[in-house]
Amino acid sequence: MTERYGAKKEKKMEFHSFLIKYGEIGIKGKNRYIFEDALVRQIRYALQSVDGEFLVHKCHGRVYVDCEGEYDYEETVESLKKVFGIVGICPVVRKEVKDPEGLKKDVTAYVGEMYPQADKTFKVEARRANKRYPMNSMELNCALGEAVLDAYPEMKVDVHDPEVRLNVEIREEVYIYSEIIPGPGGMPVGTNGSAMLLLSGGIDSPVAGYMVAKRGVELEAVYFHAPPYTSERAKEKVIDLARLVSAYSGPIKLHIVNFTDIQLAIYEKCPHDELTIIMRRYMMRIAEHFAKKNGCLGLVTGESIGQVASQTMPSLAATNEVCDIPVYRPLIAFDKQDIVDISEKIGTYETSIQPYEDCCTIFVAKHPVTKPNLKAINKSEENLTEKIDEMVKEALDTIEIIEIGK
């Protein structure tokens, strides 16, 4: 059964807001507001599909999500856990500002509902932002700590390493919280430009997109489709992967390129041991075209050194030669299991392993070159000069664009 505000959770607690903790943003100096504003935008985007009404706002250097009326608690938390830039999510109980005796009752009630066993070590961390309140922060720490000990004798104070940090903030309202749910970290998407992701149907490229987006980069993507050798289901699989990544990265513009004629020409005219390298070079050329056209500052791939023949150091150098803009490879030193672990964590693994082939797995040499010679590769590409420019132009002119996540 879906958990909602107003209903009783397992902890019998009703949360009215979430305090959002961020990491690196806090050291950005005069530009901090740019990152905070981007974080607020991404939180609003993440919550737009969640049941409930939310007010996302900044206040005194903090970011808050206020929940208006009923909302789905679990879904809200899961959505916030996908917003890059958040390092902690604190479910907050809001109360009216009362005199010290009334405040003690609210705080002890919170402890009783949040920790029914009442056998934790704790520390009160009070903050008086409302300077009109009659007690200062140190006085509040002492008074509230004493009230908790009186109400729950099994609780013990530990100011060095407590199990519970009981935060009480006196503002226009009283904010009480003690739980910090880990966020994904990173930087808010949109604070570090944009890049074009070469998205296949495999395990690696969605993880690469996730990793780059985590550093604040907006994503566009390009997928190379080769009908009839690749099926419509293979295309739908890539769209599904883009949608899964967009839960973290925000909207993705997916460019679907018909690559069949180019692949067949390479297969017919070029040495078979060089097929993969030459196909990759044309993919990079086409991806770079769209990247430059749309103002992207680089390409992103899921390559990892030595994973397959086209990802040896010489092969990567041969692929790089055709690019003018940077190629970012966030997985370059990852073992395959490291990549699989991340794909399972972000929810793309089960989709990636669906048995629908992409264009990279169809025309594969039995013995692909692992140390390609650049002069030889360029010489082989001369075999394509008669028609390849026309084919590339046709591929560029017939792309399909799908807006994912809007």
Backbone angles phi, psi at 335, to 5 degrees: -75, 160
pLDDT at res. 149:
96
pLDDT at residue 203 in the model: 95
**Residue 379 CB coordination number (10 Å):** 13
**pLDDT, tens digit (0-9, with 9 covering 90-100), for 263-300:** 999 999 999 899 999 999 999 999 999 999 999 999 99
User: What pLDDT, on the 0 to 100 scale, is given for residue 7?
Assistant: 34
Pairing verdict, β 181-182 and 218-225:
unpaired
175-205 pLDDT, tens digit each: 999 999 999 999 999 999 999 999 998 999 9
d(CA 174, CA 63): 16
Can you give the pLDDT at residue 361?
61
Domains of the chain, CATH where assigned? 17-182 (3.30.2130.30), 194-404 (3.40.50.620)
Q: Tokens 């706002």: give the residue.
A: 57
Distances, alpha carbon 309 to alpha carbons 61, 222, 224, 366, in Å: 50, 22, 20, 11
Starting from the edge strand earliest in sequence, which strands make up the sheet with 299-300, in order? Answer: 327-328, 299-300, 194-198, 218-225, 252-258, 400-404
Residues in the chain with pLDDT values less than 70: 1-12, 358-363, 406
Q: List CB contacts of 322: < 8 A, sequence separation 6 or more.
A: 281, 284, 285, 288
